Amino acid sequence: MAVEGSKAAPKGLEGVVATTTAICSVSDNFLQYRGYRIEELVGKAEYEEVAYLLLNGELPNKEELRDFKAELTKHRTLSPFLRGLLQEMSETGTGMDVLRTVVSASAAEDPGEGDNSREAEYAKSIRLTAKLPTILASYIRRRRGEQPVPPDQTLGHAANFVKMAGLDANPRAAEILNACFILQAEHGLNASTFTARVVAGTNADMHAAVTAAFGALKGPLHGGATDGTMKMLDEIGSPDHVDSFVDKAIAQKYKFSGFGHRVYLTEDPRAKFLRRYAIELSKEWKGKPYFEIQERLAKAIAERRAKMSPAAAAKVNVVNVDYYAATTYTFLGIPADLGTSIFAVGRMAGWCAHVMEQHADNRLIRPESEYTGPNGKRWVPLAER
């Protein structure tokens, strides 16, 4: 039973304002970080500048950026303990399982463990943001049967990841992944960020909150749509098969990966950038015509929306960020199942910013629930049941 006078929230808390934040604002076809629209950052800023912005509230000047980069560079290397754990897990673990577990384990050796002060959490944010690309790149190498490549102190965040992961066959890989990291750095009170803030609200530390965020991001209704998108495109196989696939899929209430968004009703402002990268990269792609398939697919679904039920139409209202991220990553040589892990590399700074914001003005997040079960039951002795 809910508290007297209260009103039950809609399922999924849709439309409910759960907190205030100065970090990010999201609405239809609108995304801004600390007052900067995403269009002001992508293609102009380095990821390190955006990470600094999220963690500090303002873009850095030259000296601040230099010092911030130096701190990130200093903390890229993994300890023998983390390297050993990663090596053991890489044999059988998935990318998200490896990232979540190694990040969680890093709390055991973090000098600020248990300290939730602003200074300690800022230092943790830098260490986590710096180490995550190294963890993922090492995992990518190990599952290919290769030895990890150590961080290159002369390279920036995205370029260093590209080199460590062996993605430098494409000369634009660093530039494009830098943009992808920025596009995915923050997105308001999404499921993983809300999870991080709920955990931080208990006064648990940064590592606990971020580890919980990884758990939420792994779910296919939040992360994972890049993998599903590539599976869907492979299943279609050819642009000529799109129309029959869509008609059959609608009849069977198939869930189209890479479509639909709870907040973006007419356009996802991130998707246009990724579509542009997918177009450019597809020109050199020698495999299946993935981009042609997905363009035909988006058009076919849009043409049929008017004939769908309102509920079905709402689930394919827009092409979301994962749709073209899937092909962009594929064209860069990143396996589809690692799309969510790439997402996490960009999102780490955003998660950390929210944990610090929660701790700065904390109150335990403890909503009520509306009870729908039975009442008035009486105990029956075991012999009489």
């042609």: which residue's tokens?
292
Query: What distance in Å separates the CA atoms of residue 201 and residue 217, rounded to the nearest whole number?
Result: 19
Which letter does DSSP use for residue 8 in this model?
P
Residue among 285, 227, 264 at smallest CA distance from 94: 227
| Extended strands (E) in 169-308 | none
Give the H/E segment covering residue 113. Answer: none
| Extended strands (E) in the chain | 24-27, 30-33, 36-37
Query: What distance in Å separates the CA atoms of residue 337 and residue 326, rounded to the nearest whole number?
Result: 9
Which letter does DSSP use for residue 150 in this model?
P
Q: Report the chain's terminal Cα–Cα distance, integer Å.
A: 27
List the Cα angle 127/221/358 in 5-degree steps: 40
34, 135, 137, 256, 338 from 341: Cα distances, Å: 24, 10, 10, 21, 5
Query: What distance in Å separates the CA atoms of residue 274 and residue 269, rounded to the nearest whole number?
Result: 10
The values of phi and psi at residue 88, to 5°, are -65, -45
The values of phi and psi at residue 115, to 5°, are -100, 115
Q: Can you give the C-alpha Rg of the chain in angstroms?
A: 22
Instruction: Please say whether the beta carbons of 142 and 101 come within 8 A.
Output: no
Contacts of 358 (CB under 8 A, 6+ apart): 19, 196, 197, 200, 201, 209
Instruction: Report, as residue numbers or ranges, the catalytic residues.
Output: 261, 322
Residue type at position 369? S
